[in-house]
Amino acid sequence: MDSLGSGVGMLLAAYDQNGFYDELFGSRDIPATHTEAIRRRLAALDFADLRRRAQDAERELYNLGITFLVYSDAKAIDRILPFDVIPRVISAREWAQLEAGVQQRVAALNLFLWDVYHDQKIIKDGVVPADLVFGNPNYRPQMVGIDVPFGTYIHIMGVDLVRDDAGVFRVLEDNGRVPSGVSYVVENRHMMLRAFPDLMSDVDIRPVENYGVKLLEAMCEIAPGNVKEPQVVLLSPGPYNSAYFEHIFLAREMGVPLVEGRDLVVVDDKVFMKTTNGLSRVDSIYRRVGDDFLDPLAFNPESALGVPGIFESYRKGNVALANAIGTGVADDKAVYAYVPRMIKYYLDQDPIIPNVETHICREAEGLKYTLDNLDKLVVKPVGEAGGYGITIGPRASAAELEVCRQKLLADPANYISQPMVPLSVCPTLVEGTIEPRHVDLRPFAITAKDTWVLPGGLSRVALKRGTLIVNSSQGGGSKDTWVLASDPPGGD
Amino acid sequence: MSALLARYAECIFWMARYMERAENLARILDVHETFARDTRGSKDWTAIVQLNADTARFKELYPSATAENVTNFYILDGQNPTSIISAVGYARENARQLRPLISTEMWTQLNVFHNWLHTLGPTDIALHNLPRLCGKLKEACQTHTGITEGTFYRDQGWYFYQLGKYLERADQTTRLLDIKYHTLLPSTADVGSPIDISQWSALLRSAAAYHAFRRVHPRGMTPASVAGFLLFNDSFPRSVVVCTRQVDQLLTRLKSKYRLRRGSIAMECVDEIQAALDAHGIEQVIAQGLHEYLDWLQLRFAEVSGHIAVAYFGLDQTAAA
């Protein structure tokens, strides 16, 4: 370690990954050879300098308004997503596999959705239980028989991955409705390029800034008819949505209007936006509004965010929507357990990225196992997002476990359970030192005819020592995620 | 030619208005000392409170019109919709929705300005710090104007920005004049007395018009010449005539360059204002009642604003294209 400089070198020398797989160091059995050069450069930085640059970066995020709203005690607070400056690095070899795995998963889920809204073969063949689909609150009978371009329902997909102590990536969750977070991937990279040009020079990192271009291409590809230059818009619930910054970001990157429901109107089953010169036709909508709020005539009649009549326009093929309506039936936490079987059923392949072992409490066997091993399992309600309602068995008190048990018994179908995955860690700058913190990874995939996966994705980091919940709404932060264009020679 | 979302036009119009409003308020507070002094030299802050017809709201929130209360009311009080912090907050909310349209630099500056305002406390607005603070506030507004000029893409949005700015400025100039005239309505004995002149010169300074005025009127200063300058001078960027002419040109350009068909009523209304501004000299206006004249102008400007909203901001677009 004599090549290490003072300060951070000492801190990295004292760094202890506590037996977890480490994204920068690997593990005793599988050392991360691809990060060697980056580690050396990191070590050469002075700790005070690292700290100062990190503070500059956070101030810049705040000044740029790269913030999300947190609702607490009925007050909306504008907060930045804390940004950790120590990057997470994925080798070219690992990425090739992740990319193929994400593409495979998206393909299977789209085939599943087509099937669900057409022939329902997978149900008739007994692979996926019928009531899991038809009893799912996100199943939309209105979608039955509607043909979507290229058979694609999930145009924008976020797959939550975790890496266990053996260094194996596993799928924790699918996000096929309105996945968010991609703006941070691009902004984090901007931030790193500005704050750490010295760290990044000569490292061949796959770029991420073309996400908006790829998204616009897909939105044009799915636009109906033979419109030469389709009018694409991004439909947002508005400034009070917690992901509003991302809506702004994506509209800017695509160069399209960021509209709200009140900006759109349906006339003769065609969608128009209100402009300074009257109504103007809209062809393709990237909607960041949930199914329920899309069209008060077709779905939730209480919704003020939506556009009355937009579903009828969509049904008639006059406008494209991404994601399609009704995708929630495929990214449900209960349906998730069946995805490996879907991959086998539709593609006749084994999953490239395995699931985390999952027990389905709606099944007697799964419920019994869960109740018997409550203190070892993570119990998740299937309908919630954002880390809410989760009970982490090994961390829960006896009273909390009892509450969980009662909930399970009262409504077993609402829960799944999984073993506690020893999430990989990554060196993270915390108060005065560098310590391991748990991370996950959410790659993003865009699909029209084909699937393109953004190299890397959002690495979320649980900033509180020991915590496993990385969600931004629960105090998590994020890191820049580097995918190496090629691995250094000599690595495994 | 790409279409402009009606809501964007509305947001940009109002963003410009709020920033212009904030700047004007900072200008007025900046010269407060002279401004608030009555003929016996005591401080009377109620004059400023009358500016936006805020008296009722002020009385609800504060027991008395002390310097501390009034400056707080107009700079830091988020409960007062006509305060600087509110105006900048509204401007920022509009800018936030306009992010896809405006430059990152415009947004960042506004965001930083807004965040900075929220760090201010009683010490910052204390009387001895007030000139410094107002200077910073003005500068921040002018930085906004400069960044906008230098970075904002020149399409329809730019025209709506300018429309908002000039309409607000025209309105603010009439208010400035009105409140001054209103509270300083000179008793016969006071006319031309030193105290009166110092207040009229303060009025000019608050509109950054003192030197421009001196170039036109090297000698002397009468209430009529000051009022005439702020209303009718055809080269001063804050005069009502110049602002109205800008509004007229902007509406014409929106029609000719962007083929916007709906602005005719707003344009007619502007024509009417211009005709009125051309019709009478300042002496005649004063003889017939300056306050009534300013009142009429304010109502007309509000009308123009309303017609612009109906024409361009998508309020009645449920019918087919």
- Cβ-contact A265, A218 below 8 angstroms: no
- Residue contact B7–A260, C-beta within 8 A: yes
User: Measured between CB atoms, does A79 come within 8 Å of chain B?
Assistant: no
User: Measured between CB atoms, does A265 come within 8 Å of chain B?
Assistant: yes
Task: Check residue A2 and give its pLDDT.
Answer: 36
Q: How far apart are CA A487 and CA A415, in angstroms?
A: 41
Q: How confident is the model at residue A386 (pLDDT cuts 50, 70, 90)?
A: low
Place of tokens 């998730």: A336
pLDDT at B319 over 60: no
Pair of tokens at residue A222: 């799915």
| H or E stretch at A9 | helix A8-13
Q: How far is B142 from chain A (nearest CA, A)?
A: 19
Question: What does the pLDDT look like over A318-372, one tens digit per residue?
Answer: 999 999 999 999 998 889 999 999 999 999 999 999 999 999 898 899 999 999 9
Fold classification of A359-419 is Dna Ligase; domain 1 (3.30.1490)
Taking the CB of residue A127, how many other CB atoms lie within 10 A of it? 15
- Residue contact B96–A244, C-beta within 8 A: yes
Mean pLDDT of the A395-413 span: 93
Mean pLDDT of the A153-164 span: 97
Give the residues across from A161 on adjacent strands.
A171, A441
Return the residue of A nearest to B100 by Cα.
A252
Lowest mean per-residue pLDDT among A244-253, A297-306, B105-114: A297-306
Task: Check residue B321 and give its pLDDT.
Answer: 37
Q: How confident is the model at residue B38 (pLDDT cuts 50, 70, 90)?
A: low
Mean pLDDT of the B129-156 span: 95
Coil, helix or strand at residue A281? strand
- Strands in A377-381's sheet, in edge-to-edge order, are A359-360, A415-419, A377-381, A391-392
Selection from B271, B266, B247 nearest residue B310 by Cα? B266
Pair of tokens at residue B51: 């500016």
Task: Check residue A200 and give its pLDDT.
Answer: 86
Coil, helix or strand at residue B220? coil
Q: How confident is the model at residue B314 (pLDDT cuts 50, 70, 90)?
A: confident
Selection from A235, A208, A409 nearest residue A306 by Cα? A235
Pair of tokens at residue B120: 């201010």
Task: Check residue B194 and give its pLDDT.
Answer: 62
User: Measured between CB atoms, does A63 come within 8 Å of chain B?
Assistant: yes
- Cβ-contact A255, A230 below 8 angstroms: no
> Which of A277, A280, A286 should be substituted to probe chain B, the one whose Cβ sees the most B Cβ atoms within 10 Å?
A277
pLDDT at A428 over 50: yes
Q: Which residue has the higher pLDDT, A66 or A170?
A: A170
> Mean of the per-residue pLDDT values for chain A?
90
Q: How far apart are CA A79 and CA B67, in angstroms?
A: 35
- Cβ-contact B17, B167 below 8 angstroms: yes
Mean pLDDT of the A37-52 span: 87
Task: Check residue A313 and give its pLDDT.
Answer: 97
| CA–centroid distance for B200 within its chain | 18
Q: How far is B13 from chain A (nearest CA, A)?
A: 12
Pair of tokens at residue A15: 């760094």
Coil, helix or strand at residue A23? coil
Task: Check residue A387 and give its pLDDT.
Answer: 63
Round the CA-based radius of gyration of chain A to a whole number and report it: 23
Task: Check residue A73 and give its pLDDT.
Answer: 59
Return the residue of A nearest to B115 by Cα.
A63
Helix segments in chain B, DSSP class H = 6-30, 32-36, 46-49, 55-61, 67-75, 84-97, 104-117, 122-125, 130-151, 156-183, 194-206, 210-216, 223-232, 240-258, 264-279, 282-288, 290-312
Mean pLDDT of the B204-219 span: 91
B104 contacts in A (CB within 8 Å)? 64
- Cβ-contact B156, B4 below 8 angstroms: yes
Report which DSSP code applies to A480: E
Lowest mean per-residue pLDDT among A204-213, B47-56, B99-108, B123-132: B47-56
Instruction: Name the region of A106 (left: φ>0; alpha: ψ -120 to 50; beta: rest).
Output: alpha
- Residue contact B3–A274, C-beta within 8 A: no
CA dihedral sign, ordered A250, A254, A259, A265? negative
- Cβ-contact A378, A408 below 8 angstroms: no
Lowest mean per-residue pLDDT among A71-75, A380-384, A408-412, B247-251: A71-75
Task: Check residue A383 and give its pLDDT.
Answer: 64
- Cβ-contact A416, A334 below 8 angstroms: yes
Taking the CB of residue A345, how many other CB atoms lie within 10 A of it? 18
| pLDDT above 70 coverage of chain A, percent | 93
Selection from A279, A237, A228, A227 nearest residue A258 by Cα? A237
- Cβ-contact A324, A142 below 8 angstroms: no
B100 contacts in A (CB within 8 Å)? 248, 251-252, 255-258
pLDDT at A84 over 50: yes
| pLDDT above 70 coverage of chain B, percent | 88
Q: How confident is the model at residue B320 (pLDDT cuts 50, 70, 90)?
A: very low
User: Measured between CB atoms, does A269 come within 8 Å of chain B?
Assistant: no
Domain range summary for chain A, segments of one domain joined by +: 359-419
Task: Check residue A94 and give its pLDDT.
Answer: 96
pLDDT at B83 over 80: yes
Lowest mean per-residue pLDDT among A193-207, A383-397, B224-238: A383-397
Domain range summary for chain B, segments of one domain joined by +: 1-153, 154-321
Chains A, B: CB pairs < 8 Å: 89
Q: What is the predicted ipTM?
A: 0.87
Task: Check residue A471 and give its pLDDT.
Answer: 74
Task: Check residue A464 and give its pLDDT.
Answer: 84
Pair of tokens at residue A171: 């799928």
Q: How confident is the model at residue A150 (pLDDT cuts 50, 70, 90)?
A: very high
| pLDDT above 90 coverage of chain A, percent | 69
Coil, helix or strand at residue A303? coil
Report which DSSP code applies to A458: B
pLDDT at B266 over 50: yes
Q: How far apart are CA A280 and CA A235, in angstroms?
A: 15
* Per-window interface: B 189-218 vs A, CB < 8 A: none
Which of A48-57, B107-116, B220-229 ranks highest by mean pLDDT?
Answer: B107-116
Lowest mean per-residue pLDDT among B180-189, B252-261, B296-305: B180-189
Coil, helix or strand at residue A233? strand
- Cβ-contact A483, A90 below 8 angstroms: yes
Pair of tokens at residue B39: 């003929």
User: Measured between CB atoms, does A279 come within 8 Å of chain B?
Assistant: yes
pLDDT at A254 over 80: yes
Task: Check residue B316 and give its pLDDT.
Answer: 64
Return the residue of B nearest to A269 by Cα.
B320
- Cβ-contact A428, A466 below 8 angstroms: no
* Per-window interface: B 258-277 vs A, CB < 8 A: 258-262
> Mean of the per-residue pLDDT values for chain B?
88
Selection from A238, A273, A483, A367 nearest residue B5 by Cα? A273
Pair of tokens at residue B227: 């009022």
Task: Check residue A169 and give its pLDDT.
Answer: 97
CA dihedral sign, ordered A463, A464, A467, A470? negative
